Structure 1
Amino acid sequence: MSNIEQRTGFMRRFASWVYDALATVAIIMLAQILFLGFVELLLSIGLISKSDDVDISYFVTTQPWNFINQFYLVCVACFFYVYFWCKGGQTIGMRAWRLKVRNLDGTQITKPQALIRAITALLGLGNLLVLVDFKNKRSLQDYLAKTEVITLSKEENKKVYRELD
């Protein structure tokens, strides 16, 4: 079977994206709690101040805290994807749907490639390119990072699990 025949179509990518979106939302919620706790700590030790009539949630939506908060949450989401793509080529959703991201020659992707993929995926919209790229089945992020997403057999997927131990 050639690489192109192993490449993953849109529906499997979409199903994996849904799983990963749920995991990412949970991670971002936890990260947001940690951020609010950090701001509360800064307030309590007097490094920053706010007026008494403003609650913490409103306070972090004002500049410059809003920018810092949003940047932090984007970094957390990117770290999630970069970590899993570099660790074994699979996120949580990709494992469930037996998908793997790799270089065109079959090797593990690098951190810069994973970061390019995470940033250029455009919240998953980059996968829409697969709908019109019938021949190559590659997304926008695949082209920009010089990667591909393949569908693994059940045996190959189990092998990836064993390699991570």
Structure 2
Amino acid sequence: MTTLHKKPLHNKQASFLRRLGAWFYDGLIIIAIEMMAAGIVIASLDMLTYLDLFSYGKHLDVSAFLAADPIWSKIYPLYLSAVFIGFFAFFWTKGGQTLGMRAWKLRIQNQNGSNITLTQSFIRMGTSAFGLGNLMALFDRHNSSFQDTWAKCEVIVLAKAN
């Protein structure tokens, strides 16, 4: 009786170039998501203004209002930040891969192969310096990045499918 075995995960840490490729793909995706998130706010405020349920006051348009209003100028960036953080936290904690990481055959995980926690994802984002923490992978003999060291996780290269 024969059993089919899946190829095991490589324990090889992801190189800087692979990380950069995934970062670029994810950058394009998150830009599109942020544009949709911003569009929802802008369209909603424009609709409320059209229905005379909301007013921009002394501001000419919605962008001027969002930039200058004392409350909205703080809420709007927090909302967009939450969308950004939520995207990465969701994908990293649920499957260990963002869409860009999937394209580049990368997975973020704990040393034992389990998914990282929400706390680890927050630590990783907070110490990544918007991706610049990956530069450490150029100089570390294990290709570990700054954010992976602090979050106590690793980004590995997955085995190719048969």
Larger Rg: 2
Aligned to 1:76: 83
Task: Tell me whether 1:128 sits opposite 2:135 in the alignment.
Answer: yes
Please give the secondary structure, in 2, of the residue aligned with 1:101.
strand
1:113 partner SS: helix
- Please give the alpha-carbon distance, in whole angstroms, between the structure 2 residues aligned to 1:143 and 1:42: 47
Task: Determine whether 1:14 maps to 2:28.
Answer: no
Is it true that 1:34 corresponds to 2:40 in the alignment?
yes
Paired residues of 2:10 and 2:158 also in contact (CA < 8 A): no
Is this contact kept in 2: 1:40–1:56, CA < 8 A?
yes
- Deviation of 1:42 (Å): 5.6
Aligned residues: 152
Indicate the percent of aligned positions where both proteins have the same amino acid. Answer: 39
Aligned residue among 49, 62, 71 for 1:64: 71
Report what 2:157 is aligned to: 151
- 2:93 equivalent in structure 1: 86
Relative to its length, the structure with more helix (as a share) is 1
Match of 1:61, SS state, is: helix
CA-to-aligned-CA distance 1:14-45 (integer Å, 9 cap, x gap): 00100000000000000001122343456556
TM-score, with structure 1 as normaliser: 0.82
Task: Please point out which of 141, 146, 164 is paired with 2:147.
Answer: 141
Q: Report SS of the residue matched to 1:123.
A: coil
Distance in 1 between the 2:48 and 2:136 partners? 45
Residues of 2 paired with 1:41 and 1:143: CA distance? 47
CA distance in 2, matches of 1:38, 1:140: 40
Q: How far, CA to CA, are the matches of 2:42 and 2:12 in structure 1?
A: 44
* Letter of the structure 1 residue corresponding to residue 132 of structure 2: L
Structure 2 unaligned residues grouped into runs of 5+:
1-8
Q: Determine helix, strand or coil for the equivalent of 1:100.
A: strand
1:100 pairs with 107, 112, 115, which one? 107
- Report if aligned partners of 1:84, 1:91 keep a CA contact under 8 Å in 2: yes
Unpaired runs of at least 5, structure 1 = 159-165
- With normalisation by structure 2, the TM-score equals 0.84
**Aligned residue type for 1:76:** V
